[in-house]
Structures are given as structure tokens and as C-alpha cells.
A and B are shown apart, each in its own frame.
Chain A
Amino acid sequence: MEEKKQDLRVNNHPILKGKSAGDKITITVEGEEIEAYEGEPIAAALLAADITVFRRTKKRQDPRGPFCGIGLCTDCVMKVNGEPNVRTCITPVEDGMVVEKQGDDREVRKNAK
């Protein structure tokens, strides 16, 4: 599994060459620790860890993931350090960040107050 995770990062690109990656840090997603690199958005760290479902729709609980990648569509929003509706594709990771899926309507409303 560890090997499978590794191959999603494009570390050696024939044209862009090696990535000048930031420091390796750890974030917690749904209670599990995953690695991330300073400077990258939360969504990139999740995709690199093979996580594709970011949230569920309120009524039907359908899965959703990143769609536009540039902060416009809001399909990738998650709860970050307790704050709901954070656009993970444009929000940089921070060491120790706690990221959770959202989708329970009551939960979101309670937090918005």
C-alpha cells in the first residue's frame, strides 16, 4: 500500500525536473495520519494518499471530490480544524491540521453558528 501511495507524486518530471518540495509534515484525515509537504494544498496531499472522496452531499450522501482544482466549484470543501466549507484545493496544508469529511447537514449548520 505504501508503494502504491508513493507513485502518485510526480517527483521526477522530464521537463519540470525535481520538485522543490517543502518540508514533510503530517496532517490527520478522518483520524488517520497522512504525509504532506509544506506549500501544497490540502487536496493535493489527499489525492497523493489515494483519497478521492472528500465529502458527501447533504440529502443523498453521494460522494464528491475535486472538480475544478482552482477554488471555483466548491466540490472539494471539507471541515478543516473544525471549520466547515474550506476549499481544500486552494488552502495550503499546515503541520498537525485536522481534516474531516463533511456531509451531515445538522453538523454543518451547528458549526456555522
Chain B
Amino acid sequence: MLNKEVAVVGGGPAGLTASIELAKRNVDVTLIDENLQAGGQLLKQTHKFFGSEEHYAGVRGFNIARELIEDAKDLAVDFLLEGSIYSVYEDKVLAVKKEKSTRLISPERVIFATGASEKVINFPGWTLPGVMGAGAVQTFVNQHRVLPGRKFTIIGSGNVGTIVAYQLLQAGAEVAAIVEAADEIGSYYVHANKAVRSGDIPVYTSHTIKEATGGESVDSVKIAQVDDSWQPVPGTEKTIDTDVVCLAVGLRPRTKLTSLTGCRSIYSSTLGGEVPLHDESMETSTDGVYVAGDVAGVEEASIAIEEGRLAGVSAASSLGYISNSAEADQKEEIRGRLELLRGGKYGEERAEEKERIRSIFNERLTRRESSTVRR
């Protein structure tokens, strides 16, 4: 068994910044990721980020990944790539499978930055080859540089749906349609604007997918208008020629490992599903276990970058690497930036939801402490 001060699970934006903050303070940290390369979903993003300098404004996603990986390597973060965690035992012992062997890692603190997984909707024909997640399309096109088809229909017009749409245009593919059940496009204006300003992509709002058809793989998709109660309106069906149906219908926190570790969670539709309860330092209900990024509620990469930093600082200070006064200042600075990122009409609802999660966490913790005393 390998003893470590901190294990960070997941090498996306949150896991990388957490590792960097820890290594900066000379904490012995291992970053575990199941892929060949760290960087997470940032590796597949071709657009420039916005925000401020601390959030890499103006830098393209894949370049942010490169910078963070470089910083982590300069600080001698120990990378354990192609390592899949298949279980978590008592006292936070992580069982990691790499190639055909397994190893046990026993860390004093764990930061789970496991990200999110894609949601799926079902319809007749959804198992046909050619129906795939938006993440798969991004992975094939921007990472492996292969188009999984020629004519794409995108289901869902949130940030992921509209970003994939213009990434496909960049790669020279045809986007036959964006289909959205709500009566307006769901993404940030900047992304929607880039995807539809060309005029090349028809956007069907108030529409849903009824069926994907084809013998061996998708050759067309049937859509229909929906009424106020989201039911398809008979007689409004349209058939669109397409060979890839790309599902961009949302993400949910990837909480398998946090639940194995005994972290209590709560359902939040705003944040994508079950979210591990956590306090303002990103610590969960299990002592010494932290969360950061999408696993702590689906938001966006710049938030993940800051939450990773916050979790890293918290874990480092709990191990005695930061003085109490310095800790407070450093956390305040990060929290201030998180507040800014969650400003505006898109962020407010998420900010309130995170606050609700913190207050439930604190309430339960207080109750637990008082019941312990009584016993």
C-alpha cells in the first residue's frame, strides 16, 4: 500500500488546479486520471474562454489544459495516468487498476474532481449506430480528428449543444439542425450567436425528437413540435436527413466514488442531479474528503478551476501547510472570484443553489454533533 498526503482524482480543470495549489505548498500529491492524458474536457474545447485573467480569459480551452498540465509538471505533481479507481475501501483507501495490475493508495486527504457524465434521452432508434453523446462527437472530432459522420442533428441547445454545433462547422461538417424542446435557445448568447449567425444551421425550438431511423445506422431523424405541456403535436412531424444524432441534453455530477466514500448528497435539478453535500471549503460529510468542479454541481470550466484551487488550499491547510491567517486570506480571494463568476442572470440561480447545499450541510453537521454529545 502506497501512503500519500493527498490524492486528487480526476485530471480536468478542477483536479489540475487543486494539484497545483497543493504542490506549490510542498504537499506530496498524486493526481489520478483514467485517460492517456490529463486535461479532461478542456482538451476538446476550441473556443476562447471569458472572465478575467485568473480564469484564462481569451485563451482557448485546449491551450488552458496545456498550461495547467505544464504548471503541474513544473511543480513535480506525481501523475498516475491510465489509472481507473474501481473501489474505495475504509479510511479512503483507493483501489486503482492500471494496465493489468492493481495498487492500493492510502491518502490522508482525497479531492474528488471526477467531473460529470452525459444525460441521455430515449426514443425509438436511439440504440442505432450514429446516435451518440455530444462528448463523443467532441472527442472524435477535436481530439482524434475524425468526423463520425457527415450530416449532424443536435438534440439540445444548451452551451454544449451550441458549442458542438460550431465546432462541427469548424471541422467542415454539415449541421442539419439543432432541436430544442424549450421555446428559446438555452445557451449563453455568445455560443448561440456563433452557431447560428452563419445562417447555415436551422434551429427548431419547441421541437422534440420522435425517432431515429435507418437499417444498419441512422439515415434520418423525425422531429415534431411540442405543445405547452411538452407533448408532440400530431401533424407537425418533419423528417431530416442525417447520419449522426448528437445528444446534448445535459450533464450530471459523476458521484460514484463520492458515494462509495460515504459522502452524503442531495438532489439539485439546477446543478444536474445528486450533488455531494459540501461546505465553503469544499469538504464533504466524510472527514478529509473534498470535492471540486462538476462533481460538486455541474457549472463550467472557469468555476471548476477556482473550486479546484479552493479545495487544494483547504486540504493543504488541514495538513498544516498553511498558517491560519494566510489560509483565510487565500480562501477569501478565491471565493471573491467565484462570486464574480456566478454573477449575472445565468449564475445567480447556481449561486443560490450552492448556498442552499452549504446550509443543509452545516445544519446536518450541527445536528450530528449535538446527537453525538447526547450519546
* A and B together in one complex: yes
CB of A25 closer than 8 Å to a CB of B: no
Do B142 and A66 have beta carbons less than 8 Å apart?
A: no
Q: How far is the CB of B116 from chain A (nearest CB, A)?
A: 12
Bound together, the chains give a CA A11 to CA B147 distance in angstroms of: 11
Chain B residues within 8 Å of chain A by Cβ, number: 35
Give the contacting residue for A10; candidates B34, B128, B149, B172; CB below 8 A. B172
Give the contacting residue for A15; candidates B60, B130, B132; CB below 8 A. B60
Do B136 and A9 have beta carbons less than 8 Å apart?
A: no
Residue of A nearest to B134 (CB): A69
CB of A34 closer than 8 Å to a CB of B: no
11 contacts between A and B (CB under 8 A): A9-B145, A10-B171, A13-B145, A16-B46, A16-B62, A40-B146, A62-B127, A66-B136, A67-B136, A68-B118, A70-B135
Q: How far is the CB of B39 from chain A (nearest CB, A)?
A: 13
Bound together, the chains give a CA A7 to CA B173 distance in angstroms of: 10
B residues less than 8 Å from A65 (CB atoms): 128-130, 132, 217
CB of B160 closer than 8 Å to a CB of A: no
Interface of A is mostly: loop
A residues less than 8 Å from B129 (CB atoms): 52-54, 63-66
Bound together, the chains give a CA A19 to CA B147 distance in angstroms of: 14
Q: Which of A45, A64, A68, A92 has the most CB of B within 10 A?
A: A68
Do B132 and A68 have beta carbons less than 8 Å apart?
A: yes
Bound together, the chains give a CA A52 to CA B136 distance in angstroms of: 14
CB of B144 closer than 8 Å to a CB of A: yes
CB of A29 closer than 8 Å to a CB of B: no
Contact bitstring B33-45, A, C-beta under 8 A = 1, else 0: 0111000000000
Give the contacting residue for B136; candidates A16, A64, A68; CB below 8 A. A68
Q: How far is the CB of A53 from chain B (nearest CB, A)?
A: 5
Residues of A13-54 contacting chain B, CB below 8 A: 13-16, 19, 40-41, 43-45, 47-48, 52-54
